Structure 1
């Protein structure tokens, strides 16, 4: 991949529905060039698909956080089931290292987030936790561009 491919992917991450003519204008390339590059990137598997974000994805729960949880004994499966049933829990990830589970949280307010954190901390088997607020989310750029 060259710089034009990386720039094309970056533009698609910003707006996956942008017309080829608009992408061409932004990237100062011809529409034919952009169309060929897009088709090649898809054929090579560099672009695996496109994702739609709904209004709910970006506005319904503006307060977001990651909660890392340490679990006592073998209660991870039981706690994971309870967590996935909570409306404020967007995802539960098992992991290695210091934390057993990482939970993605989304709420409408800081006080609601505080209530959810308190509820989770009081679950049987949760022995320690750490929560970080997500202040901004940006799409990651291509790994190859980061290595340059």
Structure 2
């Protein structure tokens, strides 16, 4: 994955419904390039889908974040089961690259969010983590490619 792919993914994370023309203009490449790169990233499994965030989801969880986890050895399945038992865990994703698991977390307060992070960090087999708070979620309506 090169810098253009990374920039394309970043643009899609910001607005997954952006038109090919808008994406191409923002990246300084042609529409054909954008289309072929999206298709290639989907075929390779780097992009596995697109999602919608509902206003109700954001209202339920005023504090949301992504926690990336590095797992020691072969403990991924066990840790995924433990994460599944956490009420604040909205989704778990296995991934490639630097992090083994990405955890979507939602909580009513920063204090509760911090408590959940502490619980997860203490799980046996987690050797590293990085967490990013989700500050805002933007989706555009009515655009097509």
Same fold (TM over 0.5): yes
Question: Are 1:100 and 2:106 matched, yes or no?
Answer: no
Secondary structure in 2 matching 1:97: coil
Secondary structure in 2 matching 1:93: strand
Q: How does 1:81-100 map to 2 (within 5 A)?
A: 81-100=81-100
Which structure has the higher relative contact order (CA within 8 Å, separation 6+)? 2
Q: Which has the larger radius of gyration?
A: 1
Question: Are 1:119 and 2:119 matched, yes or no?
Answer: yes
Length, aligned pairs only: 96
Equivalent-residue separation in structure 1 for 2:136 and 2:128 (angstroms): 26
- Say if 1:104 and 1:125 are closer, same or farther in 2 by CA, change over 3 A: same
Deviation sequence 1:80-132 (CA, Å, 0-9, x none): 01101111000000000000000000000001010000000000000100000
Unmatched 5+ stretches in structure 2: 1-16, 19-51
TM-score by length of 1: 0.58
Instruction: Give, in angstroms, the shift of residue 52 of structure 1.
Output: 9.0
Hey, what does 1:68 align to over in structure 2? 68
- Say if 1:52 and 1:125 are closer, same or farther in 2 by CA, change over 3 A: closer
Instruction: Give, in angstroms, the shift of residue 139 of structure 1.
Output: 2.2
| 4+ aligned runs moved over 6 Å, structure 1 | 140-144
CA-based RMSD of the aligned residues comes to 2.7
- Say if 1:60 and 1:79 are closer, same or farther in 2 by CA, change over 3 A: same
Hey, what does 1:59 align to over in structure 2? 59
TM-score by length of 2: 0.59
